[in-house]
Chains A and B, each alone.
Chain A
Amino acid sequence: QVQLVQSGAEVKKPGASVKVSCKSSGYSFTSYYMHWLRQAPGQGLEWLGQINPNGDTTRYAQRFQGRVTVTSDTSTSTVYMELSSLSSEDTAVYYCARNRPMVTRTLDYWGQGTLVTVSS
């Protein structure tokens, strides 16, 4: 079965960077785009960016351009999201999510989430 397993919670100081991993199993890793989203405490969902693991092409939300980097490692079926210049406003649960087959920009499987806390 499809599984997306993310790395554990992180606590970072303002100005630092964080890198979250998402390991996939149960499907052909290079056949589906992977997305990263986040959800601040008590808030809604916000899309950060995506990667096509087959070729590593990426696209990012404009407000995160220059601060977010999404990469993939096909040898381990793992996608990474790195966010730099962290501030308290980046405190959130970060999710990876797979693009549903045959339907553009639709998310069918989600990782369990990684809480990133930014605090001095």
Chain B
Amino acid sequence: DIQMTQSPSSLSASVGDRVTITCRASQSILNYVNWYQQIPGTTPKLLIYSASSLESGVPSRFSGSGSGTDFTLTISNLQPEDFATYYCQQSYSPLFTFGPGTKVEI
């Protein structure tokens, strides 16, 4: 299976900050990475697909980049509703896998 790692595992930030989360794959996965947000007590929400495509309805302060093995999710101008856990997921392999998550705290 393709292993996905994320860093940091958690971070503290303030409203208005720019936050960057990194995801690394154990092998090249081209641009087959998705990013999800999960607010405690709710279901995951798709933010970014295919590494850099913004899902419909997702605010433009979210952006994704990367290819091969290294990917980033950036949240510019962090808002109160953005405090959540973020997961990357590789969609390259039919047996897709998730990163362990990055918790963004106040």
Contact = CB atoms under 8 A, between A and B. Distances in A.
Interface of A: 44-47, 59, 61-62, 95, 97, 100, 103-108, 110-113
Contact of A104 (B44, B91, B97, B98): B91
Contacts of A59: 94-95
Contacts of A44: 87, 98-101
B95 A112 contact: no
Nearest to B48: A106
A95 B96 contact: no
Interface string B40-79: 0001111001100001000000000000000000000000
A15 to B, nearest CB: 27
21 contacts: A44-B98, A44-B99, A44-B100, A45-B89, A45-B98, A59-B94, A62-B95, A95-B44, A103-B49, A103-B50, A105-B32, A105-B94, A106-B46, A106-B49, A106-B91, A107-B44, A107-B89, A110-B43, A110-B44, A112-B43, A113-B43
